[in-house]
Structure 1
Amino acid sequence: MHMSLSTLYAIGLGTLTMAAAMTLWERRFHAGRSQALTFWAGGFASLVVGCALLILRDTLPRLVGFGFANLFIIGGYVLLLAGSLPFAGLRLPRFLVGFLLALAPVWLVIGPTLPDATWHALSGLLVALCCLALALVFAKFRPAAAVRTDRLVVTVFGLHGLVYLLRVPVIPLLAWQGREAALDLAALITMFEGVLFSMAAPMALLSLAREENRVELQHASETDFLTGLDNRRAFFAKAEAMVQAPAQLVLFDLDHFKSINDRHGHETGDEVLRIFARVAKERFGADDLVARVGGEEFAALLPGAGPDDAISALNAIAWRLRREARAGTRLTQDVTFSAGLASLPAGASLTAGLNMADRLLYQAKTKGRNRIEREAASSSFAPADTETSAA
């Protein structure tokens, strides 16, 4: 089946129109990326206008049919690039924006006077540079570990940029050789690839925004909003896998925390919680799990650590907490905590370990608070598979 260039332009026009509409609609659901999505929607809309002018180019003055058409198309790619830069913590430099704005009228004046092959080569070079720069942005972009769609964006825009980069020497060469049939074939191939790009580009960009949003929501659901530590849900989810190796399990409770809230206000109490969370997170290792599991109750799981290591860390935390709580709040009394420390052998039941640490924490409170109660590993820690089989 023969497909004309005009038909491909019409298909591209339709897919780009849908891309602009979908991106603008998606903007409502991504507050953190609304600017990027606005630029992307504007970029696709600009490509729509450019394609429409190219379809009508034979009925329009050359300045409009070719000049403005190329300007809108190149502007569309620039907007797509501008919307992508924030993902890498960048933005379009002002001098480059000024240069492009100054170049636009020059392009409109000089462009229509150039031979078609030269015009196509120059505009293709600008498109290639925009696409390859966008691919480079996402190649350097370091998203959350769970985000993988950035690779798709790199592939889509990288291939599109390479196609247009290949056009730069090929089109003038074919024109110089007078190979009209080859030029027509090159135009069809380029436009066919353009139609594929008009479908793949919005899918890749919107998938990236959605996946990033999903990862952020998942992270928020597993993070305590006040302290930035893992919350109770995340602690249990992660700890189940970590207890397959020997570990130390600690439950903390800040002493007399209610009186701090009652006497000094919840703002001071919140600051005490943040200070404790920061001190504990900094003192424990990168492989340790620290979470806020209740109002003033925290938990820590230290894989591979021994009881003495855990006690040394807890003493250091207690000392820093007293010092930094006085420096960071209006409190005149020391902020202390009680802790229960349970040693877990490999494969121990997390529930049994938490029960033991909770009993030890209760003992620390009844013995006057501001202390650590510990108990060595014992037979009461039944491996998880043994418990399951016994049940």
Structure 2
Amino acid sequence: MSRFSNFLRDVAIPDLPHDVRVDYVVAAASQVQKQARMLFVALLITTPFAVMITPESAGPFVKWVLPVAMALYCLTGIVQLRKDNQFATKPWRAEKFIIESWLSSLIGALICTVWTIAAFLSVEGTERLHFPVMLVMGSLATAYCVASIRAAAAMHLLIDIVPISALLIFTGSVLDIAAAVSLGLAGLFQWRMINVHHNQVVELLLLKRKSQTLALTDPLTGLLNRRALLDFAEALGGDAPSRLLLIDIDRFKTINDTHGHDMGDTVLQEVARLIDSHAGNNVSSARLGGEEFALLGTREDLPAGKAAQLLAEIREAAMPHGGQVTVSIGIAEGTLEDDRAWRTLYRVADDALYEAKRQGRDRFVHAGDLETAADPRRRSEDASPETPRNVA
């Protein structure tokens, strides 16, 4: 991206909290696109009325050239805004749209201001106040429509209101000065409301993101919860094979009984940290409940060898209670094309985890090594993964 493009982006899109920047840009672009259509239609309808009150003495440039330019500008905007930009799925388009809208509004503001000042100077008497009033009404409406793009809103208020207000003041007429003061106050009030609107939108987006995080995150460990892991499984989806590691802390009840639940929670947090260190590209970590955790990812990004590595890391880690902690791990592979496939994958991994517990704990068992067809403990294919067996 060129320096000029970076400059335009930095001006058009203000500094925002990182967590909500994309959400804000998408919301702003969607809002501007929706409201700008009505704005262009309104400006287009107003244009012929402005032509009607402009005297012939103003000259063809003011009487016809500038109105035609405004009409073409409005028609072009209406046509451009009919495109389906799919901002929600393509945020980069939203950012590009905001920059383009800012530049486009600059053109509209300049046309309006030049037209108004030229018409104002060509008319005598109180009738010339019609033009500043029409300009400011259009400016306030435009600033409201592009309030999500504060740079565009500020530019409109400055370009449209400041020059004509200064011209009114310098005419010396008391009526003109009163009008200039009123226009200036209206612009300042609009700018204040734009800033209030901006802050409210950012606060709402932050609150929304916080609510989403709380709904999808285990509050103790910060890992994904079961619901979020299901969402991640749906995102992986398709025919590509995935791998699931079910991880359960061995004899965790003993830690709680001996050292207390607060210490037990601290141990859970440390184990979660070690497990989460293996998450990354196409791999997510989750706490499924109690002392059970999971790693889920594509087979390429989550090799089966991670299980042995994780066993050693947890076994050798210095734990908060001063003792050793071990885990048992069940490994399974499968596709995740639907909910039934997820349940099957979970069940197979859970069977492997159960076998690791049965064999003595502190080990992993791969589901492919099990002769599950002969295992009497095997649950039906439709068993729910929401209630895993007690395999402490």
Q: TM-score range by the shorter chain?
A: 0.5 to 0.7
Equivalent of residue 360 in structure 1, options 337, 340, 352: 352
Shift of 1:293: 0.4
Where structure 2 has 5 or more consecutive residues not aligned to the other structure, the ranges are 1-9, 32-145, 373-381, 383-392
* Partner SS state of residue 293, structure 1: strand
Equivalent of residue 283 in structure 2, options 280, 285, 288: 288
Between the aligned partners of 1:357 and 1:235, the Cα distance in structure 2 is 15
Q: Does 1:261 align with 2:251?
A: no
Which letter maps to 1:266? H
Please name the residue that 2:42 is paired with: none
Please name the residue that 1:230 is paired with: 224
Please name the residue that 1:343 is paired with: 333
Q: Does 1:206 align with 2:196?
A: no
Structure-2 change in CA distance of 1:345 and 1:374 (3 Å): same
Q: Is the 8 A contact 1:283 1:316 kept in 2?
A: no
Scaled by the length of structure 2, what TM-score is found? 0.53
Shift of 1:207: 3.2
Q: Is the 8 A contact 2:353 2:365 kept in 1?
A: yes
Equivalent of residue 312 in structure 2, options 307, 319, 344: 319
* Partner SS state of residue 338, structure 1: strand
Shift of 1:238: 2.2
Q: Is the 8 A contact 2:311 2:327 kept in 1?
A: yes
Q: Is the 8 A contact 1:253 1:298 kept in 2?
A: yes
The alignment's C-alpha RMSD in Å is 3.6
Structure-2 change in CA distance of 1:294 and 1:141 (3 Å): closer
Q: Does 1:239 align with 2:245?
A: no
Scaled by the length of structure 1, what TM-score is found? 0.53
Please name the residue that 1:148 is paired with: 24
Mean alpha-carbon deviation: is it higher for 293-302 or for 139-148?
A: 139-148
* Partner SS state of residue 286, structure 2: strand
Between the aligned partners of 1:260 and 1:298, the Cα distance in structure 2 is 17
Between the aligned partners of 2:18 and 2:147, the Cα distance in structure 1 is 13
Structure-2 change in CA distance of 1:280 and 1:145 (3 Å): farther
Between the aligned partners of 2:281 and 2:20, the Cα distance in structure 1 is 17
Q: Is the 8 A contact 1:340 1:358 kept in 2?
A: yes
* Partner SS state of residue 310, structure 1: coil
Q: Is the 8 A contact 2:245 2:307 kept in 1?
A: no
| Identity score, percent | 28
Q: Is the 8 A contact 1:163 1:190 kept in 2?
A: no
Between the aligned partners of 1:145 and 1:317, the Cα distance in structure 2 is 35
Shift of 1:284: 2.9
Structure-2 change in CA distance of 1:336 and 1:210 (3 Å): same
Shift of 1:233: 1.7
Q: Deviations over 1:134-171 (max 9, x none)?
A: 98894343233673278489735434533564466665
Between the aligned partners of 2:172 and 2:271, the Cα distance in structure 1 is 77
Shift of 1:319: 1.9
* Partner SS state of residue 283, structure 1: coil
Which letter maps to 2:245? V
Which letter maps to 2:148? T
Please name the residue that 2:15 is paired with: 139
* Partner SS state of residue 298, structure 1: strand
Q: Is the 8 A contact 2:223 2:286 kept in 1?
A: yes
Shift of 1:375: 2.5
Equivalent of residue 297 in structure 1, options 292, 310, 318: 292
Equivalent of residue 321 in structure 2, options 322, 325, 330: 330
* Partner SS state of residue 343, structure 1: strand
Q: Does 1:372 align with 2:364?
A: yes
Please name the residue that 2:247 is paired with: 252
Mean alpha-carbon deviation: is it higher for 225-234 or for 263-272?
A: 263-272
Q: Deviations over 1:267-326 (max 9, x none)?
A: 2221221111111111232321110001000111112427xx5332222222222232x2
Shift of 1:252: 0.8
How many residues get paired?
A: 242
